[in-house]
Amino acid sequence: METQSGESAAAVVDAALSDLEAGEKKWAALPLTRRRDLLDQVRKLTSRHAEEWVDAASGYKGLDPDAPLRGEEWISGPYVMAASLHALSRTLDKLASGKSPLEDAEFGAAGERVTVRALPSNLFDALLLNGFSAEVWLQRGVSPAAARTNAGLAQLTPEKTNGIGVVLGAGNITSIAPLDALYELFAHNRVVALKLNPVTDALLPVFTKILAPLIDFGVLRLLSGGAEVGGYLVNHDKVAHVHMTGSAVTHDAIVWGVGDEASERKRDGNPKLAKPITSELGGVSPTIVFPGQWERSDIEFQAEHIATQRLHNNGYNCVAAQAIIVSPDWPQKDEFLTALRDAIDTAPARPAYYPGSDQRTEQAQESYPEAQRLGPYQGRLLVTGIAPEKAEPLLSTEYFSPVLGVVEIPGTGSDFAQAAARTANEEFIGTLGVNIVAHPATIEALGEDFDQLIEDLRYGTIAINAWTGVGFLTPTASWGAFPGHTLDDVQSGIGVVHNAWLIDRVERTVVRGPFRPSPRSLINREWAISPKPPWFVGNKTAATTGKLLTGFAADPRWTRLPQIFASALRG
């Protein structure tokens, strides 16, 4: 186990953990105002090195330097990082002045649960994401008063640190690793050893520059290497806690081992990993499409919307939609599926950069020989007309590649709602995110039955006429699996991240968006001025808009808005 320089990787890890032991003592003595200052320094460096970040990510993902698809790298990389740093800085500012991060929050109710409005959280949100909203649902029994009192988590007692946490970074969305490290440091008050996924090693020099204030202070160390390094690191005696983003297979290998050893350990309830672990894992995310009377433009827009849910980052997202639920009783079903096929087929070309992608696509093709090959390289797979009894491989295997299946469940109205919720809860592997697409008139007609559907769905993020990725991009929302998973049945993971207000006892986040983009939304009295969102795979100005949004997130100013609006409207 050696580094590229020939130095022992074990020695590098040992030295990093020794540094963090010393850094923990400094961190315990650091007041909240100085912690906030460190976050503000990191935000400035995120802005300064944002283009370098996007160039590095686009390079190993094989994106053309002039491609609009680079907008994905701007928005899911430095943009959300800068926005999260700003929100977390404001949380520390309030705590330092003796106030709750939720002092000015808008509370509501959903059934028996208290909700907190996470989006819009300010006037800028209301303008830039007009028509979108997000609520964090608290667990049953949590009152607004308790939520206010407990918001801040470990930063309520900053002098009480909790040892060294290891973060095993994701290999797909580039902001995940640094955001997870920030959550360990601030939500749990643990100093952090962050090991990057080998897929993202090209970002190590960039992250070293951006995270320099935390590295220099001694509370963060960046490490690289493969499974051997990761195994040595997570099992190290000096490590108190592990957090990982990845697959359930990797999680179980860390916790239980592999092969017969894993089976025996699971049977005996004897984990191989002798310390706590939290996780954000994948799964098979559904999109439920409700029957309704749609205009042709609605069909085309929502087809591109769902194609985006699958093809963003070429499908290498833990929350990428993999199975669409539709009703064969919907008169417009065939017209919608034709538009969906066209949207997938004509979406911009990109390489299959993530290891094993092509093999997983072939695995899906073997399970569904009738699947259609689509796209510029015929590398995208669409399977339609799947009856529930033939859906098992699609619903139990996270393909992590551009594979999309359409499962048909009969019914309309509340009957369809109940059947779709039951299928999503009981047949799909994972609970990270579920999307719902429904005409406003359908939602109105369902009334309380629609509200009950949202309550019944056991997912960490639910998106209504939006993609759950909007929840990922909202710093004040929570992100993670639905609560209740265990080490021996981990599904989409244990715990949450992001959550910049540091809210205690979160259950889920519910995101809502406009069924139609502006100006048709206004014509149809939906009162949303959002054009085609910049994260759509077919947005022509996504790269420009993403860059402008990143600049705004790093330094919010009114003078930046006109350029953003002009670019977004051309998308």
- Give the C-alpha distances (Å, rounded to integers) separating 444 from 202, 502, 529: 49, 34, 21
> Do 75 and 180 lie in a common domain?
yes
Residue 240 lies in a domain: yes
Nearest residue to 425 via CA among 398, 450, 395 = 395
Residue 554 lies in a domain: no
Domain final position from 534, 551, 566:
534
State both tokens at 271: 């984990």
CATH number for the domain spanning 522: value is 3.40.309.10
> Do 241 and 378 lie in a common domain?
no
Residue 453 lies in a domain: yes
- Order the strands of the 220-223 sheet from edge to edge: 220-223, 191-195, 164-168, 239-246, 277-281, 493-494
Long-range contacts, stretch 90-99, CB < 8 angstroms, 24+ apart? 91/152, 91/155, 91/500, 91/501, 91/502, 92/32, 92/33, 92/35, 92/36, 92/39, 92/155, 92/186, 93/33, 93/36, 95/32, 95/152, 95/155, 95/156, 96/31, 96/32, 96/33, 96/36
Q: Where are the alpha helices (DSSP H) in 246-405?
A: 248-256, 259-268, 296-311, 333-346, 357-367, 392-396
> Do 234 and 345 lie in a common domain?
no
Distance, C-alpha 529 to centroid of its chain: 25
> Do 327 and 239 lie in a common domain?
no
Residue 289 lies in a domain: yes
Q: Over the Cα atoms of the chain, what is R_g?
A: 23
Please count the CA atoms within 13 angstroms of the CA of 520 that sit on its side-chain side. 11
Which pLDDT does position 462 carry in this prediction? 98
- Give the C-alpha distances (Å, rounded to integers) separating 420 from 184, 202, 410, 425: 36, 42, 9, 9
Residue 199, domain extent: 11-101+155-246
> Do 331 and 418 lie in a common domain?
yes
Residue 132 lies in a domain: no
Residue 146 lies in a domain: no
Digits of tens for pLDDT over the chain (571 positions)?
444 444 688 999 999 999 999 999 999 999 999 999 999 999 999 999 999 999 999 999 999 999 999 999 999 999 999 999 999 999 999 999 999 999 999 999 999 999 999 999 999 999 999 999 999 999 999 999 999 999 999 999 999 999 999 999 999 999 999 999 999 999 999 999 999 999 999 999 999 999 999 999 999 999 999 999 999 999 999 999 999 999 999 999 999 999 989 899 999 999 999 999 999 999 999 999 999 999 999 999 999 999 999 999 999 999 999 999 999 999 999 999 999 999 999 999 999 999 999 999 999 999 999 999 999 889 999 999 999 888 999 999 999 999 999 999 999 999 999 999 999 999 999 999 999 999 999 999 999 999 999 999 999 999 999 999 999 999 999 999 999 999 999 999 999 999 999 999 999 999 999 999 988 888 777 888 888 999 999 999 999 999 999 999 999 999 999 999 999 999 8
Query: What DSSP state is assigned to residue 201?
Result: G
> Do 79 and 195 lie in a common domain?
yes
Please count the CA atoms within 13 angstroms of the CA of 356 that sit on its side-chain side. 10
| Distance, CA of 553 to CA of 156 (rounded, Å) | 26
What is the number of domains present in the chain? 2
Tokens 């569904």, residue located: 368
> Do 73 and 219 lie in a common domain?
yes
| Distance, CA of 418 to CA of 405 (rounded, Å) | 20
> Do 357 and 434 lie in a common domain?
yes
> Do 192 and 318 lie in a common domain?
no
Domain final position from 189, 218, 246:
246
For the chain, the maximum distance between any two Cα atoms, rounded to a whole number of angstroms, is: 67
Residue 264 lies in a domain: no
Which run of H or of E encompasses 482? Answer: none
> Do 309 and 180 lie in a common domain?
no
CATH number for the domain spanning 35: value is 3.40.605.10
Nearest residue to 503 via CA among 243, 54, 187 = 187
Confirm if 53 and 74 have CB atoms less than 8 A apart: no
Residue 407 lies in a domain: yes
Please count the CA atoms within 13 angstroms of the CA of 562 that sit on its side-chain side. 1
> Do 225 and 304 lie in a common domain?
no
Q: What is the per-residue pLDDT across 230-239, written as a single tens digit (0 to 9) for each?
A: 999 999 999 9
- Give the C-alpha distances (Å, rounded to integers) separating 532 from 43, 75, 193, 308, 565: 28, 15, 39, 12, 12
> Do 321 and 449 lie in a common domain?
yes
Handedness of CA 49, 55, 61, 65 (dihedral sign): positive
